[in-house]
Structure 1
Amino acid sequence: MTARAEAARQESGSGTGSMLRMRRHPQSFLKLILLGFALVGLPLIIALINNALSIDRLADHSRKAVYQAAQIAHSSRALADEIATMERAVRQTHILGDTSLLEGYFRAHNKFESTAASLFELSLHAEQEQLLTQLQSSEASIFQKVSALKQSPEQLRNLIDSFVLLRDSARTFATVGYALIEREVDEMQDMAGYARFTVGWQLLALIPFAILLAFAFSVRIARPIRQIDEAIRNMGQGELSKVIRVGGPQDLVYFGERLDWMRRRLLKLEEQKTRFLQHVSHELKTPLTAMREGADLLAEGVVGELTEEQQRIARILHSNSVQLQRRIEDLLNYSALQAEKAALVKQKANLTKVLDAVLQDQNLIIMSKGLRMELSCPEIMIDCDEQKIKIILDNLLSNAVKFSPPGGCIRIWTSKTAELAQLDIVDAGAGVDEADREKIFEPFYQGRRVLDSHVRGTGLGLSIAREYALAHGGNIELVPRIAVGAHFRLTLPLRDPDEGHE
């Protein structure tokens, strides 16, 4: 079985295992959200139910208290009225001597008994029951005496004073009833105040608790989404070496595993692309070298003297072969970077002499375009891989030459601080479009302003130059444009930070 088939089998097995785990654990992002809402809302629902029950109990108690208060007040007035009626009937019978007038007394007595019985059916306090019992007993005693003397009206005069005490007892019962009603009202107010206090404390306790639960579930929900977003962003930026792991609900875990499978597939495709570039670049470099050498021989007249037209054609062949060779070298350098083969071999080097060598290599194309070079480059010694620095400068200079119009001026100057060497190069072209500033160093990106020529760039020069600068501990940046042209700045450490030179 081949390595590719084995990897495919493992990926298929991993996918199948993920499916089985998801079936065994049917957790989902939706269930997590519903659980979060349930746990956040449950305390509030319980508090609402409890408060509703408390309010219902308070309302029921209030309703009963109001009904009883009304009944007691009405019955107390009825008792007082019946006592007054009985007293009046006895007085009239005594004064007029007409025993038939006692019929009103007996009717009032029956109503008094009925009203007292209805009061006993209410939920009276002990004090009220005691007063009502005494009142009923006193009235019954008077009734017995009236019944015994109903045939002797003149003797009823001795019973009239008994009604005064009976009226006082009725007033005392009514007064106590009103006092107890006021006490009931106070108790209801206390109950209402306690209910408000309870509701307030429940809100003060439950709202932070609900907020804390909501925050906890928000973090739990947001974490896997943030992990997925970071994984997608890393893959978009070409960072394929970091394993993707997503926590949380099972469906998001499975989604993270599929993203990691995609990452591994992209990593294999990237390796295949790198190997392809290496093979194609090597295959192209050999015949191109022969073409370049042949063009050199023709231009030098080794095979015979050439006419002016033939020399011009030979120079075109030579110039384009040099351009193609640089593009192929860019591909090789990029392949080496991708394969992590770009190890640095550092030694002391003169940055100005490296720049002079690069200018000499590109002298022919500089002269053919009639470009002027303004140099201000004092000698600066740095610890570096001279070959890689030469590639950096060659890419920066070729970029400036390519975008400068014929007869334009390219300015290059160097400077240094206590720790860094700095090289600035400004061409005379149209500059970098604002939309391209963030992407100009990306591999294979050529920007909006691509020149028409027989040999177009690969879009790798600036990317390779920056990677080599970063490998040295420096950087290349595009300086904001003030006038015309593009302004690139290379910074490099003077001493190798890995060796700690003084």
Structure 2
Amino acid sequence: MRIAIDYVTSNTDDKSDTIRQAELRHNPRSFLKLILLGFSIIGLPLIAALIYSATRIDQLAEQSRKTVYQATQITHGSSILIDEIIDMERSVQHAHILEDLSLLKGYFQAHVNFEKTAIKLLEVSPHLKQQLLLEKLRLFETTIFREMLASYDTPQNLRNLLDQFTSLLILAQDFSTENYQLIGQNVNEMSEMAAHARTLVEWELVILIPFVILLALTFSVFMARPLRQLDEAIYNMGQGKLSSAVRINGPENLKYLGSRLDWMRRRLLKLEEQKILFLRHVSHELKTPLTAIREGANLLAEGITGNLNKKQQQIADILHTSSIQLQKRIEDLLSFSALQADKTALIKQRTNLAHIITNILKDQNLSIMSRKIKIELTSPDLLLECDKQKIGIIIDNLLSNAIKFSPQGGSIKISTIQIGQIIQLDIIDNGIGIDISDEDKIFEPFYQGRSIPNSHIRGTGLGLSIAREYALAHGGDIELIKHIGPGAHLRLILPIHDPEAQP
């Protein structure tokens, strides 16, 4: 019936996993796409700022080029106009003095050059004031030219035109001066534009850099969260914490991976339950025939069935000792099963720790005598609220571990001391010690260290694990203390008063 239930449950889990997988694949969104999206959003403000800055710089460069070109053309043109006016005045003056109208040929050529230059300046002049001055200058020169045509036949009339050339030259110089002022104004405008562009770029940097950093941090947290959840889920599964469901928030492919991890967690949880059930059943099944074996060996050792010779007595003692050790292994398995099933209720009462230690030493006396181990005990009467049976198991496991790893004829130091509201129990042996690579694993269930004890009997690897769980249940702990010299130093820490008791 149980198999059928497990089969139905397994089919239900498989169906739910299939449905969830289909839902996840219905809207795929990969972690790579999330990274690309993050980089795109982070890079978009930078790209926009870069394009804007490049556009502004390009506009500034184009404006500068045009301004420089116009200033050069107008300056050069103003110089040409002044030169042509001087040439025209010189030609008219020569024709008047020498009364030779053929000398006016230079005037007409200068007039043509003046007109061409003025037209070009009108095309490149960007300011209305320049254009008005240029039109006034051109109109004045045209008026002189018309008067020249009217006085062409009489060289004596040319005298009246010479004074007008002086006014025309002054007007041309005013135009040139105005051009220089306008060029200076354009330069100032270009400087202001450059300063404004530089200020905009600085403000872009001041605003964009923190904004981009904030975006980067936001996306980093958003992208790191599912990875952190995956890492936490894997770590919890590795530590045997299988009660919490695995939930991954993020891209669909990581959610799907989280669903597969949750499926693995449920499978491991079922296997853990089956393992605990198996250990419980096997332990109980072994305990019944072992009781009969132990009682029979005890009857033989005590000579109830008849007197035994020396060799028979030794065999009976070995059977009795081995049955006790095997019973302890089975009790370790039962204790471990109870711990895994959260059946670790403590029955606390006020107890003298020294009495517990003395009773444990009596139980271990045969092993201590067989290995000729010297016990150095320093244990004053110390009262504490605890579960006497569980504390006895803790001390028994610690002492058994010390005896197992102690050499023949070695020594074990046991000392207790009260520090404030804490009782500290130290057990130090002079055996082979604990390998450095085993220090972080000695409290794990079923772990067998690399150091090989001087005994043919191998433990289950549950003694220290059970001892620490019981110590934690009392609000204490067991620590491995580093010390100079051979052997191992284990310390049990227990509170005197029950930490869960009402004040």
| TM-score relative to the length of structure 1 | 0.96
Map Cα deviations across residues 197-254 of structure 1 (whole Å, 9 max, x no partner): 1111111111111111111101101111111111111111111112221111121122
Question: Hey, what does 1:414 align to over in structure 2?
Answer: 416
Match status 1:211 vs 2:213: yes
Question: Hey, what does 1:53 align to over in structure 2?
Answer: 55
Map Cα deviations across residues 110-137 of structure 1 (whole Å, 9 max, x no partner): 1111211222222431211121111111
Contact kept, 8 Å, 2:74 with 2:125, in 1: the verdict is no
Question: Hey, what does 1:22 align to over in structure 2?
Answer: 24
Q: Which shifted more, 39-48 or 105-114?
A: 105-114
Contact kept, 8 Å, 2:75 with 2:176, in 1: the verdict is yes
Aligned pairs (5 A) from 1:147-166: 147-166=149-168
Match status 1:387 vs 2:355: no
Aligned pairs (5 A) from 1:145-184: 145-184=147-186
Amino acid at match of 2:8: E
Contact kept, 8 Å, 1:475 with 1:491, in 2: the verdict is yes
Map Cα deviations across residues 246-296 of structure 1 (whole Å, 9 max, x no partner): 111121122112111111111111111111111111122222222222222
RMSD across aligned positions (CA):
1.5
Question: Hey, what does 2:493 align to over in structure 1?
Answer: 491
Tell me the CA shift for residue 20 of structure 1: 2.2
- Separation in 2 of the partners of 1:264 and 1:258? 10
Q: Which shifted more, 284-293 or 224-233?
A: 284-293
Tell me the CA shift for residue 454 of structure 1: 3.4
- Separation in 1 of the partners of 2:117 and 2:499? 109
Aligned pairs (5 A) from 1:302-341: 302-341=304-343
Corresponding residue SS for 2:350? strand
Match status 1:87 vs 2:102: no
Corresponding residue SS for 1:422? strand
Structure 1 residues 124 and 371, CA gap change in structure 2 (3 angstroms): closer
Moved over 4 A (4+): none
Corresponding residue SS for 1:383? strand
Tell me the CA shift for residue 13 of structure 1: 2.4
Question: Hey, what does 1:400 align to over in structure 2?
Answer: 402
Aligned pairs (5 A) from 1:36-51: 36-51=38-53
Corresponding residue SS for 1:160? helix
Amino acid at match of 1:116: A
Contact kept, 8 Å, 1:345 with 1:385, in 2: the verdict is yes
**Identity, % of aligned pairs?**
58
- Separation in 2 of the partners of 1:249 and 1:111? 78
Contact kept, 8 Å, 1:320 with 1:455, in 2: the verdict is no
- Separation in 1 of the partners of 2:460 and 2:14? 37
- Separation in 2 of the partners of 1:254 and 1:433? 41
Tell me the CA shift for residue 334 of structure 1: 0.6
Question: Hey, what does 2:108 align to over in structure 1?
Answer: 106
Structure 1 residues 124 and 103, CA gap change in structure 2 (3 angstroms): same
- Which structure 1 residue ranges, 5 or more long, are not aligned? none
Question: Hey, what does 2:297 align to over in structure 1?
Answer: 295
Q: Which shifted more, 263-272 or 368-377?
A: 368-377
Corresponding residue SS for 1:488? strand
Amino acid at match of 1:49: I
Contact kept, 8 Å, 2:478 with 2:492, in 1: the verdict is yes
Amino acid at match of 2:250: G
Question: Hey, what does 1:374 align to over in structure 2?
Answer: 376
Question: Hey, what does 2:98 align to over in structure 1?
Answer: 96
- Separation in 2 of the partners of 1:23 and 1:260? 17
Map Cα deviations across residues 90-147 of structure 1 (whole Å, 9 max, x no partner): 1111111111111111111111112112222224312111211111111111111211
Aligned pairs (5 A) from 1:184-203: 184-203=186-205
Amino acid at match of 1:402: K
Tell me the CA shift for residue 154 of structure 1: 2.0
Contact kept, 8 Å, 1:431 with 1:481, in 2: the verdict is no
Contact kept, 8 Å, 1:297 with 1:303, in 2: the verdict is yes
Amino acid at match of 2:51: I
Corresponding residue SS for 1:71? helix
Question: Hey, what does 1:132 align to over in structure 2?
Answer: 134
Q: 2:279 aligns with which of 268, 277, 280?
A: 277
Contact kept, 8 Å, 1:324 with 1:455, in 2: the verdict is no
Question: Hey, what does 1:260 align to over in structure 2?
Answer: 262
Question: Hey, what does 2:450 align to over in structure 1?
Answer: 448
Structure 1 residues 124 and 363, CA gap change in structure 2 (3 angstroms): closer
| TM-score relative to the length of structure 2 | 0.96
Tell me the CA shift for residue 40 of structure 1: 0.6
Q: 1:423 aligns with which of 415, 425, 440?
A: 425
Corresponding residue SS for 1:136? helix
Amino acid at match of 2:380: P
Tell me the CA shift for residue 463 of structure 1: 0.6
Question: Hey, what does 1:247 align to over in structure 2?
Answer: 249
- Separation in 1 of the partners of 2:392 and 2:274? 29
Amino acid at match of 1:141: T
Amino acid at match of 1:191: M
Contact kept, 8 Å, 1:392 with 1:468, in 2: the verdict is yes
- Separation in 2 of the partners of 1:206 and 1:353? 74
Contact kept, 8 Å, 1:350 with 1:382, in 2: the verdict is yes
Contact kept, 8 Å, 1:323 with 1:455, in 2: the verdict is no
- Separation in 2 of the partners of 1:44 and 1:495? 64
Contact kept, 8 Å, 2:406 with 2:454, in 1: the verdict is no
Amino acid at match of 1:72: I
- Separation in 1 of the partners of 2:109 and 2:371? 137
Corresponding residue SS for 2:426? strand
Tell me the CA shift for residue 452 of structure 1: 5.3
Tell me the CA shift for residue 166 of structure 1: 0.9
Map Cα deviations across residues 385-410 of structure 1 (whole Å, 9 max, x no partner): 11111111111111111111111111
Map Cα deviations across residues 362-399 of structure 1 (whole Å, 9 max, x no partner): 11111111111111212222221111111111111111
- Separation in 1 of the partners of 2:411 and 2:115? 127
Q: Which shifted more, 426-435 or 30-39?
A: 426-435
